[in-house]
């Protein structure tokens, strides 16, 4: 949404060992400096031959070849090859093992092959000079394999963005300490840090600040020195206790740009920029913080990583198993549990009320976006569910 129009500097690049580059984002195209395969090779286990010498071969009238180990072949010879072996010069096909029989120093071919059959031709995988992997691609195991096969042991990747995380609230107590009356444990720093790690970013922890403009401003200044972006939770509401937006505006220009978003949950979310660095101000309610991260931080971090394309959540179409009211004029993020019934997928809304219930996030396996223009999702209505990672859609 808003941050998508924010100017983001192209991340810095670094030269990195390929073996340490899993899930990093490639900064420069990888261009093949060699053909792959580098030489004509056998695609099967069998015997390399000149194809023309196999014409008419059958099990009853096999063609016979003398076995050789030489690297040059004529029409009278065949060479034993395993999958991946280089073909001898002169050979243009391979008879598969199961279509042959070795008899002393000879081999019988029981079936003809055509030129090129059972061969991987030099350059058929990747041609020298062509782009093997484009800049902006996240390096998955298969890309690493291709780059390794091309012989590169280092790649140019983007540096990781630095994201700082701050939780605010007088009621918050860090895990491992004792609660006083009316206090709660701070879950948000761990949740937001984990959501960053999921995207491949190790966050910077700014700790917990009390609801004090001065204390929050101090921590924000540290964050701006050390990080490229800051995510806060708590201290923002709709037209009331706005200690974090106030602190952000104290720290620098332009400060808060948007305060309050027509969505539910996470309505009090604010978006700010200070010293050209984005600051995402999320509500303190853990569910709202998670949904706010999903909507605003995730696409922002994808851009800061240098990815060519945002990575989508997987979607499924399902029918609402039960109706649920939504807020007219707001975009509603309804947690649902998708399950299979009578060969169709159904989405059970998790908890109509109580966006603050963190268990709604663990009981759901995805969410449905209910648009601003409606007052609810109806039973039987077809919806698109954004699935959480690693989820199982139960049978």
Cα gap 229→277, rounded to integer Å: 5
Establish if 58 lies at the interface with its own copies (CB under 8 A). Answer: no
Q: Single out the residue of 13, 218, 327, 356 in contact with its own copies (rule: CB under 8 A).
A: 356
Which C-beta is closer to its own copies: that of 234 or that of 252?
A: 234
Residues 369-388 that bind its own copies (CB under 8 A): 387-388
**Both tokens of residue 307?**
């990815």
DSSP per residue over 191-249, as a string? HHHHHHHHTT--PEEEEEE-S-HHHHHHHHHHHHHH-SEEEEESS--SSS--HHHHHHH
Q: Single out the residue of 31, 67, 361, 374 in contact with its own copies (rule: CB under 8 A).
A: 361
Which C-beta is closer to its own copies: that of 132 or that of 224?
A: 132
Instruction: Print the binding letters for residues 111-150 with its own copies: x by CB under 8 A, - otherwise.
Output: ---------x---xxx-----xx----x-xxxxxxx-xxx
Residues 12-31 that bind its own copies (CB under 8 A): 18-19, 22
Establish if 258 lies at the interface with its own copies (CB under 8 A). Answer: no
Cα gap 227→186, rounded to integer Å: 22
Cα gap 213→61, rounded to integer Å: 93
Contact by Cβ (8 Å): 384, 368: yes
Cα gap 200→189, rounded to integer Å: 16
Which C-beta is closer to its own copies: that of 106 or that of 125?
A: 125
Neighbouring residues of 112: CB distance < 8 A, sequence distance ≥ 6 = 51, 54, 55, 56, 57
Q: How far is the CB of 314 from its own copies (least distance, A)?
A: 4
Q: Single out the residue of 61, 253, 312, 373 in contact with its own copies (rule: CB under 8 A).
A: 312
Cα gap 368→358, rounded to integer Å: 17
Q: Single out the residue of 278, 283, 306, 370 in contact with its own copies (rule: CB under 8 A).
A: 283
How many residues sit close enough to its own copies to count as binding (CB under 8 A)?
83
| Strand bridging mode 366-370 / 331-341 | antiparallel
Q: How far is the CB of 86 from its own copies (least distance, A)?
A: 4
Q: How far is the CB of 368 from its own copies (least distance, A)?
A: 17
Establish if 353 lies at the interface with its own copies (CB under 8 A). Answer: yes
The one segment of 53-61, 322-330, 349-357, 378-386 that binds its own copies by CB under 8 A: 349-357
Residues 189-248 that bind its own copies (CB under 8 A): 190-191, 193-195, 197-198, 237-241
Establish if 366 lies at the interface with its own copies (CB under 8 A). Answer: no
Establish if 269 lies at the interface with its own copies (CB under 8 A). Answer: no
Establish if 284 lies at the interface with its own copies (CB under 8 A). Answer: yes
User: Nearest CA to 322 among 352, 349, 342?
Assistant: 349
**Both tokens of residue 387?**
């699935």
Burial of 214 (0-12, 13-18, 19+ CB in 10 A): exposed
The one segment of 5-13, 47-55, 107-115, 183-191 that binds its own copies by CB under 8 A: 183-191
Instruction: Print the binding letters for residues 88-107 with its own copies: x by CB under 8 A, - otherwise.
Output: ---------x----------
**Both tokens of residue 309?**
């394309």
Establish if 355 lies at the interface with its own copies (CB under 8 A). Answer: yes
Contact by Cβ (8 Å): 17, 147: no
Q: How far is the CB of 66 from its own copies (least distance, A)?
A: 20
User: Nearest CA to 376 among 321, 324, 336, 330?
Assistant: 324
Residues 147-176 that bind its own copies (CB under 8 A): 148-153, 169, 171, 175-176
Residues 35-54 that bind its own copies (CB under 8 A): 36-39, 43, 45
Contact by Cβ (8 Å): 104, 278: no
């Amino acid at each position: 949404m808003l941050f998508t129009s924010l100017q983001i500097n192209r991340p810095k690049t670094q030269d990195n060992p390929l073996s340490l580059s899993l899930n990093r984002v490639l900064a420069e195209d990888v261009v093949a400096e060699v053909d792959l395969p580098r030489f004509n090779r056998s695609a099967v286990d069998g015997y390399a031959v000149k194809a023309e010498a196999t014409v008419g071969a059958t099990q009853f009238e096999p063609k016979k070849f003398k076995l050789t180990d030489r690297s040059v072949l004529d029409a009278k010879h065949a060479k034993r090859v395993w999958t991946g072996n280089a073909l001898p010069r002169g050979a243009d096909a391979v008879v598969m093992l199961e279509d042959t029989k070795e008899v002393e120093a000879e081999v019988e071919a029981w079936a003809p092959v055509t030129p090129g059959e059972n061969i991987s031709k030099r350059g058929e995988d990747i041609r020298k000079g062509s782009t093997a992997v484009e800049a902006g691609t996240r390096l998955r195991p298969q890309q690493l394999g291709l780059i390794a096969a091309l012989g590169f042991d280092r790649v140019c990747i983007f540096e990781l963005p630095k994201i700082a995380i701050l939780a605010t609230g007088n009621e918050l107590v860090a895990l491992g300490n004792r609660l006083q009356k009316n206090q709660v444990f701070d879950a948000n720093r761990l949740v937001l840090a984990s959501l960053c790690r999921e995207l491949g970013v190790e966050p910077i922890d700014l700790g917990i600040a009390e609801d004090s403009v001065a204390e929050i401003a101090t921590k924000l200044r540290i964050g701006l020195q050390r990080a490229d972006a800051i995510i806060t939770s708590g201290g923002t509401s709709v037209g009331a206790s706005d200690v974090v937006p106030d602190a952000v505006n104290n720290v620098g220009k332009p400060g808060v740009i948007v305060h309050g978003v027509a969505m539910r949950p996470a309505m009090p979310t604010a978006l700010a920029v200070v010293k050209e660095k984005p600051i995402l101000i999320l509500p303190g309610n853990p569910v709202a913080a998670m949904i706010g991260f999903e909507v605003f931080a995730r696409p922002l971090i994808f851009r800061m990583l240098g990815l060519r394309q945002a990575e989508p959540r997987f979607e499924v179409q399902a029918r609402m198993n039960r109706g649920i009211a939504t807020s007219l004029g707001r975009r509603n993020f309804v947690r649902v549990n998708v399950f299979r019934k009578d060969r169709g997928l159904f989405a059970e809304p998790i908890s109509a009320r109580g966006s603050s219930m963190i268990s709604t996030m663990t009981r759901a396996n995805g969410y449905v976006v209910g648009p601003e223009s409606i007052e609810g999702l109806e039973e039987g209505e077809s919806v698109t569910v954004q699935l959480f990672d690693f989820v199982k859609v139960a049978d």
